[in-house]
Each structure stands twice: as C-alpha cells, then as structure tokens.
Amino acid sequence: MNKNKGLEDTGLSSKFQTHTQRIIDRNGNFNVLKTGIGKLESFNLYHYLINESWGKFFFHSLVFYVLTNIVFSFAYYLAGVEHLGIEVSQGFFHSFINAFFFSAQTLTTVGFGRVNPQNFSTNVIATLEAGIGLMVFAIATGLLYGRFSRPATNIKYSSNAIITKWENGLSAFQFRLANAYSTVMMDAELKVMASWLETDNGEEKRKFYTLKLEYDKIVFFPSMWTANHIIDESSPMYGKTQEDFHKSEAEFLILFKAYDDTFIQTVNSRYSYRHDEILWGVKFARGILTNDGGQLLIDLERLNLTEKIEN
Amino acid sequence: MNKNKGLEDTGLSSKFQTHTQRIIDRNGNFNVLKTGIGKLESFNLYHYLINESWGKFFFHSLVFYVLTNIVFSFAYYLAGVEHLGIEVSQGFFHSFINAFFFSAQTLTTVGFGRVNPQNFSTNVIATLEAGIGLMVFAIATGLLYGRFSRPATNIKYSSNAIITKWENGLSAFQFRLANAYSTVMMDAELKVMASWLETDNGEEKRKFYTLKLEYDKIVFFPSMWTANHIIDESSPMYGKTQEDFHKSEAEFLILFKAYDDTFIQTVNSRYSYRHDEILWGVKFARGILTNDGGQLLIDLERLNLTEKIEN
Amino acid sequence: MNKNKGLEDTGLSSKFQTHTQRIIDRNGNFNVLKTGIGKLESFNLYHYLINESWGKFFFHSLVFYVLTNIVFSFAYYLAGVEHLGIEVSQGFFHSFINAFFFSAQTLTTVGFGRVNPQNFSTNVIATLEAGIGLMVFAIATGLLYGRFSRPATNIKYSSNAIITKWENGLSAFQFRLANAYSTVMMDAELKVMASWLETDNGEEKRKFYTLKLEYDKIVFFPSMWTANHIIDESSPMYGKTQEDFHKSEAEFLILFKAYDDTFIQTVNSRYSYRHDEILWGVKFARGILTNDGGQLLIDLERLNLTEKIEN
Amino acid sequence: MNKNKGLEDTGLSSKFQTHTQRIIDRNGNFNVLKTGIGKLESFNLYHYLINESWGKFFFHSLVFYVLTNIVFSFAYYLAGVEHLGIEVSQGFFHSFINAFFFSAQTLTTVGFGRVNPQNFSTNVIATLEAGIGLMVFAIATGLLYGRFSRPATNIKYSSNAIITKWENGLSAFQFRLANAYSTVMMDAELKVMASWLETDNGEEKRKFYTLKLEYDKIVFFPSMWTANHIIDESSPMYGKTQEDFHKSEAEFLILFKAYDDTFIQTVNSRYSYRHDEILWGVKFARGILTNDGGQLLIDLERLNLTEKIEN
C-alpha cells in the first residue's frame, strides 16, 4: 500500500460525517451496519449457528429437538398410536406424550423397543424418522463439536498504546501483546493501520494509512511482543500532536496472525486503539523476567505497565 | 506475469474461433467443455456429492437409503424372515415389507427389537448390516454436515464495471464489491485479468492481460471496495475505445480471495464483466455513509449507483 | 535457489552410484528407501490407514470388527452367557456365537434387546463395550469419511516433454497438463527441477537445478497449460544435447499446486519426465478449440499431440 | 529481520539474568512460564484435551462416562426405578446399579429395552439423556478422532550441529535433518535463529539473530537435508570462537515447515542446539547412498555421522 497517500474508499472507506464511532470494537468485530439487502440474503445459517453464544446454541438445539419430536408425534398420532402398542383409552394427552417419547427414542436411535411400530404406516414414519432424523441430529452434533474445536485465541493487548522516545530525537508508537494461552505460536505477524479524518478539497474524509513496524514478523512467539513503529519522516504520524489525534478522531487498527500448533492452523486476533487510549511520553516497563532457575517468566500483569521517561 | 505481452495458451488459452461465449459465467464457473476423457475418469464422486443441489442431494440420499434396505431385505427374505419373528403366513409382501422395516431399524441402529434376528444366518446379516451400514450412513451424514459447513461467500459485485475519469487526463477502469454477509473478512485480495481477441501474424487469438490495481490487497474488508485500474501507458487497455472492446469481445475476469473469520479459512469468489456490461463516462456514487450515531452504514443497493460525470 | 550452481545434498541429494532409478515414480511418490530406523518409529498408523488401498481398508475394518467382537464374546462367555438370556444347554459354539452376535449389537449400538445383559458382570461388560466400542467404531467411520473426502486431483500430463524451437534461434523445454476433473482450479503454480549426473572434482554426483518458467503461476486454470522453459544462456540446459541427457540420466521433476474450489484447499500433483521421455524437434499441436456455440473445448486426447516442426 | 542488529524484546526477548535454561526443549515446546493471569483465563479446554497424553485422555473419558451415568442414575432413582421395570425390593444398591446400566444404555443409544422408561418422569429424563448425552458423547468421539488424525511429524535432527570448513578459508554452521516417516513432503522450509547473551551499554541482554541459509527452501524433501549457514562477514557468528559461544550461552533455534501429502497440510517441527551440542572441526559423513538397484537409500543412523576433517 502507498504509505504516504492515505487509502480512501477501499475496504474501510472515506467521507463520513464528522463524528464516527470506533471502527473495530473491543471484541474485534467491525462496527458496521449493512442495509439495502434482504435479511434472508445476508443471512447464513452456518455463520449464525457457529457464532451465537453457547447459551443460545443449547437453547436452539433443545427447541429443535422438541419441535422435531412434536412433528413426528403428530404423524404417529395420525397413524394411530395403538399401532405403536400405546394404550389409547387414556386420552389424547397420554397417547400424544407417549408418541413423543417414542419419537425421541427413534430420533436418537436409542430404540428401547417396548413401544415400537407394528403396522405399515407407523413403520414408514419410524423408518423416515430414524433415517432423516439421524442426519439432522448428526448436524447438531457436528456443529457442537465444530464450535468446541474452533481455533480460539486469547491474545492480550496492553490496555494503552504509547508514544515514546526513540533514538535520534524521534518518537515511536508502541503497544504490547502476549499469548495468554500456553499454546505454541509461530510465524506471528502484525499489521497496523492508522486512520483519521482529513480535510481534502474542503471535504472531511476518513483516511487509512499502513504503519510500518520495525519488525512485523517473528518466527517464534512464546512470550511478549512490543510492536514498534518509528515516527520518522516517512511515517504518516510524523509531526502530529496529541491534540491532532483527538481532533481527527484517530484510531489504530491491529490485525495479528500466527500459526497455532494446537489448532494446526493460522489464527488471528483483532484490536484497536482510539486516540484517547494512547499515552504520551511514557515507556513500557520490562515485561519479561527470568526466575531463579533461569527460566523465562512472562508476567501478563506487567503487559500494561508503563514508566515515566526520565530525562 | 508480463504485463505488456499478452499471455497466450497458458491456463486460459488463445486461438479461438471468432465468437466466443463468456469465459466465466454468472455463478463463477468456467464455461469450458472437456472431451477426450472417459466419463468415469473425469468423475469424482465426492466432487459430485458436494456440488449437487440440496434437492438432488436429499433425493439421492433417500434413494440410497431405500435401495440399501431393499438389498438387505432380500437377504433376510432369503435367510427366512420367520427367523426374525415375522409372521410368514401373510404372504411375500408382508414378509418383505417387514424385513424392510427391520433392515431400516438395523441400518440406523435404532434396533427396537420386537423384530430381531434369531438364527445364525439372520444374525450374520444383521451383524454385517449394522457394521457396514453404519459406516455408509455415517458417510452420508458426514457429507450432509460437510455441505452445510462449507465455506460460503456472498460477495456482491456492481452490475456494471465503469470507465471513469482519472487524474491527469487519464481514465480508470473500476468496479465495486461488498460482502453481503455479516462475516468478518480480512486480508482481502483482488486479481483482475482482461481478455480480448487480437490479430497476431494474421491469426485472431484471444489474449489475456493482468490488470494492475491501485490497491490489490486490503487488511480489513468490512464494507465496500472500489477496485481501481488506472489506464495509463503501462495498461493494456490504454488507447482502446468502447468500440474496440465490443469488436474484440473483451471480458474482464475477477478473482476475489479473503480470509473469513467464521470459516477460519480463505474463501474466494469469481466474477466477470463482458464488454457490454461496462459503462463509459460515469462515476460511482458514494456507497458508504454514516448514520446519526456515527456508525458506518453500507448500503448495498447503492453498489450499482453511478452518476454522470460533470465537466 | 541459485540457478547456475547445481543444488547438491539438499533435499534430493548428490553422489550416487552411476545408474539410478527414476526419483519420482508414475504415482508421484518418491522412489526412496529409508533404513537405520526401527519399523515402529517410522510407522504412523493414521498415515497407513489413510494411504492404503480401499480393498485393504475394508478388509482391515472387517478384521477389526470381527476381532473386537470375538474379544468381547469371550468376556461375555466367561461372565456366563445365561445372564444374557442365551440358552446354554446347546453347547459352547451356540453360546459363543450368540454372545458374538450380542456383542455386535452392542458395539454398533443397534441393541435389539432380545438378548440383553441381566446381571452385574454382563452389564459392566456391555456398558464398557457400548462406550469404548462406540468410540473405536467412530474412528473407523471417521477414517472412512476422511478417505472419501480427501482432496483428490486428476491432473493429466502430456506423456512426453518436448524440446522445441523458440524465438531468436533458441530452444524451449515444454510439457502440457490439464485438469481432467471438472473442478474449478485457481492460483495454479508449477515448479520444475532438472536433475542429472555431473562430474565434479572427478566424482560423479547428481545435481539439481530449478528451471525458470515463462509463466509459473496462473490465476485461473480451466483448461490446458503449456509449461515453457526457454533454454537461453541462463538455463542449466543450455548447450546440452539429447545425447548428454541420456548419458547423464537426466530427470525433470514437476510439482503442481492449485487451489481447488471443491475441496476449498490447495491440492498438488507430482510428475517427472526421464531423459528417454523427451521428444526433440517437435511442437505441441493446438489442444484448445471452440465448438460451434463459441464455447471453449478442451480435448484431453490432444494433450499428447505433437507436430513436426516445419522449416 | 535486520541481520546485523540483534533482535531484542520481540517475541523471544532480551535482558535475562545471566544463566538461562534452554529456550526450546527437546520436545519443541517453549520453556517459558506465564504468570499474572488467572488459571481459568489461560486455560482452553480444547487445547488441553488435544494435547494431553493418550493415557490421560482415556482416563478422563472413562471418568466422564461414569460420572455422567451416575448423575443420570440419581435422576432415575429419584424418579423411581420401578418405572424403568427395575425390581426395587432388592435395596438401594441393586436399584441404583441397574439405573446406572440403563443410563449407559441410553447415553450410548444402545437401548436394549428390557429395562425401559415406563412413566412420564423417567421418559423425560431418558429423552434428555439420549439427546444431550448423545451430543456430549459425540464430542468425545470427535476429540478421539481429532487426536488420532492430527498432523504428526517425525523429523529427526542430527544430535549435533557442527562448525565445519567452507570454501575460501571460511567456516560453516551445519546440521542435518530427515523425515523418519515415509510421507511425501514438499515445499520444505527452514528458519534458524541464533541467540546469545551480549553486553550492551553495560547490561547483559539476550539477543536474537536470523541465520541466512544457503538454501532455506526446497521443493521436494524425500531424503536428508543438510542445512548450511556460511559464516562470512555478514554472519552474526563471524569471528566467534567455541569459547565465545560457551560464555554467551548460545542457542540455535530451528523451525522446520513442510507440506505433508498425507495430512494435506503444512506441518512443522521445532528443535534447538545449545552451545555444548556443537562439534567443531568435523564434517558430516555421506548420509545418502544408492543400493544395488540404483534406488536412493537414506540411512537415518548416518544422520549423526561426522568425520574428522583432514588437512
């Protein structure tokens, strides 16, 4: 990407009203509304079922389980529950509820057999239920396992980014991150974009700039990583003050990627710092120590620890 | 790829009869016929079962389920259904249909047990059916889940590409796209190829050129992306008129790739614009707005919105 | 890789006895023997079960199924099959075979229930069998589906590579390939290595060279690809004759990779040409035609078609 | 990465107490302690279940199976086991243990049916157990298969790295590796980092350097690979003696990646050499031979074989 000419209307786009909300929220999701498309067309069932909360997922599974059984219970009821060996003299509720239990036994293939299909119509229904139902059940099970085994990351970011002193009278933009899980991460990669409002031909537009990091890739990521962008003449941040960032509603977007040895996959994590989450004139305290045995010690509580810069 | 020397006979190849159909159809598939290879050799069962429509898939599953049960029903019939506890005095159809139901109960492992194998031969068949059948059933189930959880994209492209004014008296080739799903997409990438007939040594050949985009990669793709190819001297489109593109049957092939956070995988989308789907002398209307709360608002209906260029 | 200094002892290595077999066999496997490591240490059960033939896989599954049931049958026999409701007066074989059938019904969870555990010991065994057995059975099922859904390619290579005429009095090394499946392939990539014996300090060593292709990546691969290595001064093949390749036992190793839209994964294919599979002084006949409707027509039988070069 | 300026505080970080343990242990894991984060927050259940030993995994599965059944047994007991058809006159233990066996039959869906739910409350519990339990069981099964089918590598490294003679009076740092499995590996890649203590402004810090390899990527990896870093002026190892490496507690970290054709995935392997595992003034003996049939022969026992350098 062109570093010195802000990116406009590409991906994250330009020309907003003056005051915008943060673009990436604390959970790493985009804070974007989409209109002009039908609900149905923008909806993907798999997306939904993988991303909903565990509570909702279990609730939806239960509802589906019960509803499916109710549908089949009606079918058995219509076919005559006496052909399942259910006593019909005890009224509708008794018949229906026992058809329901039989349906559940068929759907899950537990098939105890005390209640069982004894004529043509109930056998046809049971054959269908065991077949189709088993497949639907398998999807629920697959989804459950899919959710459980989904690559998860727990990357902790320092709660503030900082503008700190650098060599040769320059400043640097820094933040820190660490892997809170004990997984082995390799080939880690950071991409950082700065974004702020700019006046261009009298119009106020939001522009996006890629920030060059001193190191944007590391081979091993066992501990803590201090991302470092040196604010020299080639930086879009060069010459800007704390006041400038407040006025222009600056936000710094972060994309972290790494290969995780547990999931055997590339995982990612997103974060952003708003202009009011940046500390000026401090430096990060040491975050990595060694214990008495000479072993590396990563103290995640120190991730946020900054120190005043002495002159 | 060499930008100024058209690619010939590599991948998408040269030397056609004058009038060709579109190369990439509206669904993103290649419009290509293959001959000279046996049906069986070019056929992959998994390919087929993953790509057929849901209707066909369910129909094929049902047919397979019924056929498998019919095969095993015959086996039980030959072994003697009286050894399953089925009343044989009611004729062939009664025996067979009950063997069929028993087979279904065994195949799905529901195993109610009222009907059950009671001698050696029926037990052997049931043992085989429960074992082998379970595995085949599991494949169907796996396929069903595999189809359901397959990475799906819903990338919307502007219905027209445009040739618009650019700086310094140049023109630009542009089109727009947006993610109609609410999924988080990162590391998005666009590749665009132009293709047209050219006369080379008196022979008319179809040539392919890679179009250089102003930005061909973006880190985050939450909203709308305007792809922009500047038609300067280095562009193969330089100096060509609308008439030229019609005559040479130009087509612009697009490959979009992005990392989708729901599928934890790189997904892709293909599209193409034919010469008659390109508007000249217009520009795209703003597609991204902010609502009152300052939140980004992507209006997908505006994706196709173009405006006349005022002079 | 250094193009002009042959690669030695790196990956595919040097210093052989004079006459070597082909390095990559017709199935794309390495023709390499490994010694100095225990059978057990070099063996990976999953590797084996995924790669063995379908016939062997089904046979092994059957053997495993039968053996597992035999083991549990013995356990039931020792616990007393009368507690399963099996008539013991008819001798060992009757008892054992019925225990075997019961075991199969438990392992597959079909559980008909006519025979069922009625005391403590048989119940404990059945509880274990249903639990552990179900998991083992699930692995077999998973393997079966894993094998079935494994990315498969059917890349056809021209049966001969050729040395053909090129511009400016140069020659070119070419071969052709096509995707025999009807799958959509994108971002295809070719890597070609040449390998031959060389005399270096009086020792005969096998050296490996990377061949630079005119195009080594293509965006779309719907049809036929003619790989083209121009033999100019920078090529390690420059100045060598047909005789040289025979004497030095030349072999050309090919790695093809592409993203397959059905498997949503990068697939690969390997091939090699030996010195005696290279035709000199011919050119490839056109492989891609259009039919009357203007649709691209790939004739795979023409893949191997070469024509004499006219002067 | 900047080759001549040691990397500090990035990923693997600086400023330790003088004596540090090895950074990558023999199993390829990072030797790092994390503090300052709650147990629960750093714990990922899937991570744990995928990475624990097979023994522990089976034990945990068994415990879970038994506990789940105990919970449901209590539920049935409370609902009244007489409604399952269990004889209650024989006391609590008899009732409970039979409820336990029934629970196991329901959880695994084997459902023999002799014992079966006969009133409302037991039917509700059984319906829940068969449904929920089946899904939990499926997770265990999925995990089992997931563990079994996880990409595994068996890369053997020479037990020592060596400092050997190179051309032009230079030395080279070398080690060897081979794939002990018979899998086909392609696009193999090596990354090597050197790390030692340095005195910088009076402070002793651990610095990290990337070592440039003669070849860091190979297309095919069927045999043995000798990694070779030439110690010329551009190398951070230039001019250092064996004594220097001992004093500065040097460690060489290795990351190997390759595409494995069995797992259809990129696999990786990590290793490290400490200063005391480096042999000086030797060279590797030939590791690759050909047998009488002219086939490549990789002798893994020769991986470690070094020879004295003759002058």
How does pLDDT run across C52-64, given as a tens digit for each residue?
999 999 999 999 9
pLDDT by residue (tens digit) across B110-162? 999 999 999 999 999 999 999 988 888 888 888 888 888 888 888 999 999 99
* ipTM over 0.85 threshold: no
Closest-CA distance of chain D to residue C179, Å = 19
Six-digit token string for D230: 């030439």
More confident residue, D85 or C5: D85
CA distance D266 to chain B (A): 14
pLDDT at A311: 60
Could B112 and A116 be called an inter-chain contact, meaning their C-beta atoms sit closer than 8 Å?
A: yes
Q: Which of A15, A35, A45 to mutate to test the interface with B (most CBs of B within 10 A)?
A: A35
Chain B CB contacts of A20 below 8 Å: 290, 294-296
Q: Which chains does D contact via 3+ CB–CB distances below 8 A?
A: A, B, C
Q: Which fold has domain C44-148?
A: Helix Hairpins (1.10.287)
Q: What does the pLDDT look like over B250-284, one tens digit per residue?
A: 999 999 999 988 888 888 999 999 999 999 999 99
| Stated pTM of the model | 0.84
* CATH number, domain D41-148, options 1.10.287.70, 1.10.10.10, 3.40.50.2300, 3.30.365.10: 1.10.287.70
In the predicted model, is pLDDT for residue C306 greater than 70? yes
User: Would you state the pLDDT for residue D2?
Assistant: 34
Taking the CA of residue A243 and the nearest CA in chain D, the distance in Å comes to 30
With a cut of 80, say whether residue C1 has pLDDT above it.
no
Nearest CA in chain D to A185: D30
- What does each C-alpha distance from A274 to A3, A172, A194, D212 come to in angstroms? 20, 17, 10, 39
pLDDT tens digits, one per residue of C63-107: 999 999 999 999 999 999 999 999 888 889 999 999 999 999 999
Q: Given this model, what pLDDT does residue D5 score?
A: 45
- CB proximity list for D133: less than 8 A, separation 6 or greater: D68, D72, D106, D107
User: For C263-267, what is the mean pLDDT?
Assistant: 85
| Non-local CB neighbours of D53 within 8 Å, separated by 6+ positions | none
Tokens of C87: 């008539």
CB contact under 8 A, A262 and D134: no
Where in chain A are all domains bearing CATH 1.10.287.70?
52-148
In this complex, do D32 and A298 lie within 8 Å of one another by their Cβ atoms?
A: yes
- For residue B123, the surrounding DSSP H or E stretch is helix B120-128
Asked if D161 contacts D173 with a C-beta cutoff of 8 angstroms, the reply is yes
* Confidence band of B65 (pLDDT split at 50, 70, 90): very high
C-alpha span between C111 and B134 (Å, rounded): 13
How far B5 CA sits from the closest chain D CA (Å)? 29
Start and end residues for every CATH 2.60.40.1400 domain found in chain B: 155-308
- C neighbours by CB contacts (3+ pairs under 8 Å): A, B, D
Return the residue in D116, D155, D182 with the most chain C beta carbons within 10 A, the one to mutate for interface testing: D182
Place of tokens 């045995």: A293
Asked if D147 has any chain A CB less than 8 Å from its own CB, the reply is no
Q: A155-308 maps to which CATH number?
A: 2.60.40.1400
Given a contact cutoff of 8 angstroms between Cβ atoms, the answer to whether B18 and C282 are in contact is no
Give me the percent of chain B exceeding a pLDDT of 90: 51
Interface of A with D in 75-94 (CB under 8 A): none
Whether pLDDT at C13 is above 60 = no
- Are the C-beta atoms of A98 and A115 separated by less than 8 Å? yes
- Residue D3 forms contact with A (CB below 8 Å): no
Q: Please tell me if residue B21 touches chain C, with a CB cutoff of 8 Å.
A: yes
Q: What is the pLDDT of residue D199?
A: 80
pLDDT value of position B20: 61
pLDDT of residue B133: 82
Rounded to an integer, what distance in angstroms lies between the CA atom of residue B189 and that of residue B167? 24
Distance of CA B157 to the CA centre of its chain: 15
CA dihedral (B286, B291, B294, B299) positive or negative: negative
State residue C54's pLDDT score. Answer: 93
Give the C window 100-119 contacts with A, CB below 8 Å: 109, 111-113
DSSP type of residue C223: S
The residues, ordered by sequence, that sit 6+ positions from A139 with a Cβ below 8 Å of its Cβ are B141, B144, B145, B148
Question: Measured between CA atoms, how close is D150 to chain C, in angstroms?
Answer: 9
- Of C5-14, C279-288, C292-301, D55-64, the range with the lowest mean pLDDT is C5-14
Q: What is the pLDDT of residue C224?
A: 84
Average pLDDT (C14-43) is 69
Question: Over the stretch B217-229, which tens digit does the pLDDT of each residue have?
Answer: 988 887 789 999 9
Q: Which residues, 6 or more positions from B246, have their beta carbon under 8 angstroms from its beta carbon?
A: B275, B276
Domain with CATH 1.10.287.70 in chain D: 41-148
Q: Tell me which residues of chain B, numbers 227 to 266, contact chain A at a CB-CB cutoff of 8 Å.
A: 228, 259, 261-262, 264
Q: Identify the CATH number of the domain defined by range A52-148.
A: 1.10.287.70
Q: How many CB pairs under 8 A join C and D?
A: 205
pLDDT of residue B7: 45
Pick out chain D residues at pLDDT < 50: 1-18
Decide if C290 and B20 are in contact by the 8 Å CB cutoff.
Answer: yes
Between residues 24 and 63 of chain D, which touch chain C (CB distance below 8 Å)? 61-62
The total of other beta-carbon atoms located within 10 Å of residue A83's CB is 18
Using a 10 angstrom Cβ sphere, with 0-12 exposed, 13-18 middle and 19 or more buried, the burial of residue B4 is: exposed
Q: Rounded distance, CA A276 to CA C34, Å?
A: 62
Q: How many Cβ atoms are within 10 Å of A266's Cβ, its own excluded? A: 18
Whole-number percent of chain C with pLDDT over 70:
92
Looking at residue D223, its pLDDT comes to 76
Domain ranges in chain C with CATH number 1.10.287.70:
44-148
- Inspect the interface and report whether the beta carbons of C109 and A113 lie closer than 8 Å: no
CA angle B204, B207, B212 (to 5 degrees): 150
Averaged pLDDT for residues C5-20: 45
CA dihedral for D258, D260, D264, D268, sign (positive or negative): negative
In 3D space, the residue among D96, D293, C287, C279 whose CA is nearest the CA of residue B9 turns out to be: C287
Which residues 148-207 on chain B approach chain A with CB closer than 8 angstroms? 148-149, 152, 154, 156, 178, 180-184, 186-188
Calculate mean pLDDT across residues B76-92. Answer: 91
One pLDDT digit (tens) per residue for chain A, 311 residues: 333 344 444 444 444 444 567 778 777 777 777 777 777 777 888 888 988 999 999 999 999 999 999 999 999 999 999 999 998 888 899 999 999 999 999 999 999 998 999 999 999 999 999 998 888 888 888 888 888 888 888 899 999 999 999 988 999 999 999 998 888 888 999 999 998 988 876 667 778 899 999 989 988 887 789 999 999 999 999 999 999 999 998 999 999 999 988 888 888 999 999 999 999 999 998 777 777 776 777 888 888 899 988 76
